[in-house]
A = this chain, B = another copy of it.
Amino acid sequence: MKQTLPYPVLQALVGDEEVGAFFSNEAELSAMLRVEAALAEAEAKVGLIGKDAARRIVEVCGAFQADWAKLAEGLARDGVIVPDFVKQLRAAVGKTHAESVHLGATSQDIIDTALTLRLKSVIEIIGHRLDTLTHSLDGLKRRDGSVRLMAHTRMQQALPFSAADKIDTWIQPLERHREALEVLAPRLLVIQLGGPIGTRGELKGHGDAVADAMAEILGLGFGPSWHSQRDRIGEFGSFLSLLTGTLGKIGQDIALMAQNEVGEVRLATGGGSSAMAHKSNPVPAEVLVTLARFNAGMLGTLHQALVHENERSGAAWTLEWMLLPQMVISSAAALSRAQGLIANLNLLPSKAAEK
């Protein structure tokens, strides 16, 4: 009962359990196993490895237990987890078919495709949450849209307008983000298979066929190897930061409207203070601002990783690993915090607008 938590407690404020789960060690391993299994199946299909080998690999991938300590050691040594992972996987598959594991692939194929697989699920969740949030804002507009608010420009009172006018400015960019996500998803969710230098050269003329089969098995799009071209990742990061930027603007508006002196919103439940019992802090509104500023900064750093040296940059790739998961989780958290905030929100007539 008084046990500790398996995650940093700050995640309770700025994290997201559902989406965060896709970036756990286990989820990454599981996605990597799916990729190795799909690779084997695809290679068997084109005759690069035997059907027996593929069957054995798929079977082992389904039940594989990693030696995590060794994986961690391998990652520290090799800069990527795959070499040790493949070694463990080959041992589990057994001598007969060991050579058929990971055939013609390279670390980056496994890591990037395993990431893409998880982003596919993440994108579905984000899309769904965007729909739900827009729906809630529509509901708020229907219910409170006629409330008279004061518009503010440059932090000064401008002219009165309706809550519907304000809510429209929150909904419109969300609708654009929803559309952008539809356009972005097929561009992003493309299999990475290139082999050591991105040419599919180790697949003996079957490279495109293997990639195509893998893509079908995994439900991803097909395209040439993209491992040294990180624009897709950068573009997804931009989407996330635009999304949290829009949500941060909503949060900023609500925090300003929630000021006691302004009193244009009432939060059903506000945050408490350890020193002042009378306070009701607009915590989720503030967190939306935090997450917007966080993601904006992460984006500027993620785009530094577009400068990928030659056929693989260890430095730039590792930088992505440190940033993208945080951005995804922050975005999911922002959607969730925004949902809670809007569901809790009542818009109140501005006294200034009545004058």
Contact = CB atoms under 8 A, between A and B. Distances in A.
Interface of A: 1-6, 8-10, 12-14, 23-26, 28, 65-69, 71-73, 75-83, 85-86, 102, 105-107, 110, 151-159, 161, 165, 168-169, 172-173, 176-177, 180, 183, 187, 195-199, 201-202, 224, 226, 228-232, 234-235, 238, 241-242, 245-246, 248-249, 251-253, 255-256, 258-262, 269, 271-276, 279-283, 286-287, 289-290, 292-316, 318-319, 321-323, 352
A233 to B, nearest CB: 10
A25 B2 contact: no
A283 to B, nearest CB: 4
Contact of A279 (B158, B259, B297): B158
B231 A246 contact: yes
A169 B287 contact: no
B273 A106 contact: yes
14 contacts: A2-B65, A9-B72, A78-B272, A82-B274, A105-B274, A151-B199, A152-B311, A153-B281, A154-B283, A155-B256, A249-B307, A253-B309, A293-B301, A297-B304
Copies of this chain, complex-wide, total 4
**Residue from A13, A85, A262 with most neighbouring chain B CB atoms (10 Å):** A13
A294 to B, nearest CB: 5
A224 B164 CA distance: 14
A304 to B, nearest CB: 5
B273 A307 contact: no
Nearest to A253: B310
